[in-house]
Amino acid sequence: MQVNHGFPAERGMAFAAQFAGVYLNFNPDDAASRSRKLAAFLAEGMDSQMGWDGYGQMAAVAIQPYDIEASDANNAVVSVAFQTGPRRLMLSVPIYYSGDDGGRRFAVVGRPAVLPAPAPAEVPQLAPPEIDEAATAELKPQLEGFFTDYASGAPGLQRYVAAGKSLPSFGGTFTFAELKQVVVPVGGATREIQAVVVWSVPNGEVPATPDATDPAAVGGRLEQAYRLTVEKQGDKWFVADIRGAGRVVG
**Residue-level pLDDT at 38:** 97
Q: Which of 122, 115, 182 is nearest to 147 (CA)?
A: 182
Tens-digit pLDDT profile for residues 10-41: 999 999 999 999 999 999 999 999 999 999 99
**Residue-level pLDDT at 223:** 95
**Residue-level pLDDT at 4:** 76
Tell me if domain 9-116 and domain 133-244 are identical in fold.
yes
Greatest C-alpha distance within the chain: 77
Tens-digit pLDDT profile for residues 114-161: 999 999 999 998 888 899 999 999 999 999 999 999 999 999 999 999
**Residue-level pLDDT at 207:** 44
Domain-wise residue ranges, the chain: 9-116, 133-244
For the whole model, what pTM was predicted? 0.77
Is the predicted pLDDT of residue 250 greater than 60, yes or no?
no
Is the predicted pLDDT of residue 58 greater than 50, yes or no?
yes
Annotation: CATH topology of 9-116: Nuclear Transport Factor 2; Chain: A, (3.10.450)
Tell me which architecture the domain covering 133-244 has in CATH.
Answer: Roll (3.10)
Is the predicted pLDDT of residue 211 greater than 80, yes or no?
no
Is the predicted pLDDT of residue 70 greater than 80, yes or no?
yes
Is the predicted pLDDT of residue 1 greater than 60, yes or no?
no
151, 168 Cβ separation under 8 angstroms: no
Is the predicted pLDDT of residue 183 greater than 90, yes or no?
yes
**Percentage of residues of the chain with pLDDT beyond 70:** 92
Beta bridge partners of 65: 80
**Mean pLDDT across the chain, nearest whole number?**
91
Is the predicted pLDDT of residue 206 greater than 70, yes or no?
no
